Chains A and B, each alone.
Chain A
């Protein structure tokens, strides 16, 4: 089965440190999403890309978060500087947009703890 791969699986860091999360989407998928999940907020869309171009990053705090796709096989989400309120599970998902109906596959997530 094709998979979305996320690294690292778990990350504990101190407040103020830079955190980079990586995602390898499924080969051939043209759409990549970044979500954040907490108990209080549920799944929040942070940003998404189609054909590597950012389509919407309105869900992301711009002052500290940045998302990029340097190539079709890699998406990154960076937090600098990190804060305790950033603690959450960050999911990457990829899919192939070819019209109205499509599904997408999630990676296993990066569990981030900022202390």
Chain B
């Protein structure tokens, strides 16, 4: 089982729709969580951190469920420019060292 798992998609939704992705992680000692966005042939860029109480940044909402070991990303009123791959990132502790693990990404395509 992978340490961080995501639905690879692709998710193909119309402009203006709401879309949500989940990501599950295996290590309950994981400390911090992030969503990154990666455009084709570009580097990953930090989209938002994920806090225990949930957090919102404009049209984007991130949630963390420690009991079930998953994080989620909700995008409201999706735009064409939201088309990208969304990477779930978990900072987990193993053998007293922290390690940043990426999920394999969920591809999102917004159609006009």
Q: How large is the interface on B (under 10, 10 to 19, 20 to 34, 35 or more residues)?
A: 20 to 34
23 residue pairs of the A-B complex, CB under 8 angstroms, read A35-B102, A42-B104, A43-B87, A43-B105, A45-B101, A45-B102, A48-B99, A91-B43, A97-B98, A100-B31, A100-B32, A101-B32, A101-B49, A101-B51, A102-B32, A103-B34, A103-B46, A103-B49, A104-B46, A107-B43, A108-B42, A108-B43, A109-B43
CB-defined contacts of A106 to chain B, threshold 8 Å: 43-45
CB-defined contacts of B34 to chain A, threshold 8 Å: 103
When A and B form their complex, which 3 residue pairs have the shortest distance between CB atoms, in order from nearest? Answer: A42-B104, A106-B43, A43-B102
CB-defined contacts of A107 to chain B, threshold 8 Å: 43
Asked if B101 contacts A42 (CB within 8 A), the reply is no
Asked if A56 contacts B97 (CB within 8 A), the reply is yes
Q: How many of A's residues come within 8 Å of B, CB to CB?
A: 20
Does A66 lie at the interface of the complex (its beta carbon under 8 Å from any beta carbon of B)? no
The CA-CA distance from A108 to B36 in the complex, in Å, is 15
CB-defined contacts of A100 to chain B, threshold 8 Å: 31-32, 91
Does B100 lie at the interface of the complex (its beta carbon under 8 Å from any beta carbon of A)? yes
Asked if B105 contacts A42 (CB within 8 A), the reply is yes
| Residue of B whose beta carbon sits closest to that of A43 | B102
Which of B42, B43, B49, B105 has the most chain A CB atoms closer than 10 A to its own CB? Answer: B43
The CA-CA distance from A96 to B102 in the complex, in Å, is 18
CB-defined contacts of A101 to chain B, threshold 8 Å: 31-32, 49, 51
| Residue of B whose beta carbon sits closest to that of A44 | B102
The CA-CA distance from A107 to B45 in the complex, in Å, is 10
| Residue of B whose beta carbon sits closest to that of A109 | B43
CB-defined contacts of B105 to chain A, threshold 8 Å: 42-43
Instruction: Write out, one digit per residue, whether chain B residues 35-66 have a CB within 8 A of any chain A CB (1) or not (0).
Output: 00000001111100101000000000000000
Instruction: Write out, one digit per residue, whether chain A residues 27-58 have a CB within 8 A of any chain B CB (1) or not (0).
Output: 00000010100000011010010000001100
The CA-CA distance from A91 to B99 in the complex, in Å, is 16
Given contacts A100-B91, A109-B43, contact A56 B49 (CB under 8 A): no
